[in-house]
Amino acid sequence: MELDNHILAVVEPAILPTEIKMEALSEDQGENVDKQTKEIGAFEPFILCNGVQINITKLDSFELDLSGIMPLCTIDFTDSAFGVDSMPRDGDFFTVLLNSKHQETFKSVHMDFDIIEVNSDETGGVILEGICKIPRMYKEDCQVLDTETSLKQLELVVRDLEIGLATNVDSTDDKQSRIQAYETYQDFITSIIEDSYISDEAFVKYCVDQYYYLNYAYYGNVLCYLLFHFLLIHVLYLLVLFLALLKCHFPLLKLLFLRHLLFLLYIYYQYVVLDWNFC
């Protein structure tokens, strides 16, 4: 495959998180340009909820979880700045900015999170749990997609949701029409990816990252790449042990040499004799 091990952006996200506005802090006069608004959110999270900034000195913990399909964020804070009307509730959302001073190396994270759970105690502590806010992601819809590959259909869906698409798949062999029969867009995306076909040896996974890209990744080439380098390291290590045994005959060196030799013979047996091939 042309994309091979590289996950590249195919569609750029059009979704815009909540704009963060603040005073210019004298930057319009050229004063302290590099030391004020450019540093906001660079050393600690900048969090905005219902128009109220959560004071960083009141923030007890912050967690951005990217291990699942959708980004999750949990914040624990103690703050009395919220009034009756601005107090976070289920259905509200909060905005997170993790500002990067080196955009060439790391992009800034700027994302809205729908509040899915609010917990508070008598001491004024508040815990907010949020999930990445993508309008209509959990909305049910009914539509028919014309006969096309799953990759093309996935591209149509992400454009409709205004999120991005990043993948190392350049084509799939699975042309068919699809029906979204009053199911959520997330369930529809999951069904498209689960039904996608690249080859008998390939398997795919997907997730939405902190930059609003839906990552659709094919793992066959990546595993082959890792296996090749893993075996190469073992072969080099075996060669080093062999050269060491030519000069000295320590029992431990013989044991290590025999262990790695048996391991490589086992891989050879699985790959060549039993035709264990997923690449």
pLDDT of residue 1 exceeding 50: no
As a whole number, mean pLDDT of residues 102-114 equals 88
pLDDT > 70 in the chain, percent: 82
pLDDT > 90 in the chain, percent: 44
Residue pLDDT, tens place only, 11-43: 999 999 998 876 665 555 555 555 556 667 668
The structure's pTM equals 0.74
Please provide the CATH number assigned to the domain covering 22-132: 2.40.10
2 — pLDDT class (breaks 50, 70, 90) = very low
Average pLDDT, the chain: 83
pLDDT of residue 249 exceeding 80: no
CA distances from 36 to 52, 83, 243 (A): 20, 28, 60
Read off the DSSP letter of residue 105: T
Nearest to 51 by CA among 82, 91, 90: 82
Q: State the pLDDT at residue 19.
A: 86
pLDDT of residue 147 exceeding 70: yes
Residue pLDDT, tens place only, 151-199: 999 999 999 999 999 998 888 999 999 999 999 999 999 999 999 988 8
Q: State the pLDDT at residue 277.
A: 54
Whole-angstrom Cα distance, residue 267 to residue 256? 17
Nearest to 73 by CA among 154, 9, 18, 128: 128
pLDDT of residue 256 exceeding 90: no
pLDDT of residue 226 exceeding 50: yes
**What residue segments make up the domains of the chain, in order of their start?**
22-132, 140-218, 225-273
Q: State the pLDDT at residue 24.
A: 60
Q: For tokens 């091939």, what's the residue?
A: 277
- Among 3.40.640.10, 3.55.50.10, 3.30.565.10, 3.30.70.100, what is the CATH number of 140-218? 3.55.50.10
| CA-atom Rg of the chain in angstroms | 26
> 279, 223 in Cβ contact below 8 A?
yes
